[in-house]
Amino acid sequence: MNENQINALSQEIIGAAIEVHRNLGPGLLEHTYQAALICELKLRGIKAESEVEVPFVYKGIKLDTAYRADIIVEDEIILELKSTENDNPLFGKQLLTYLRIYNKRLGLLINFNRERLIDGLKRVVNNL
């Protein structure tokens, strides 16, 4: 995908997340939003996979890890979902690490525990 297509896809994802937030509101557990967002994306004809294992290679050796990306959309954009009161800078760093490991350009950090979803949204870009 080129940059314009990735940006258009990210706008579709944000629209789907807003729809989920509009229907469910803040205050639920992260996995509830994850299931609803997967459903909303699929209703929109967008391919999305949840709990995708993050491959980890150290010095040429693949290590078993417990890291999983919350959602990967169209094999292009990684979504890291949260439902927390406070934003933690570690969340963005974690997403950037996933982007680097997967060699992807764009990730969205979405915290559903906000009155307005836009206040809990952050784009994270991997400068490949």
Domain positions in the chain: 3-125
Show Cβ contacts of residue 23 under 8 Å, excluding neighbours closer than 6 positions.
Answer: 36
Write out the H or E segment, with its range, that includes residue 28: none
- Among residues 73, 108, 109, the alpha carbon closest in space to that of 91 is found at 109
Output DSSP code: residue 22.
H
List, for residues 91-110, the tens digit of each pLDDT value: 999 999 989 988 899 999 99
Q: How far apart (Å, rounded) are the C-alpha atoms in residues 34 and 112?
A: 10
pLDDT digits (tens, 9 = 90+) for 14-62: 999 999 999 999 999 999 999 999 999 999 999 999 998 877 778 988 8
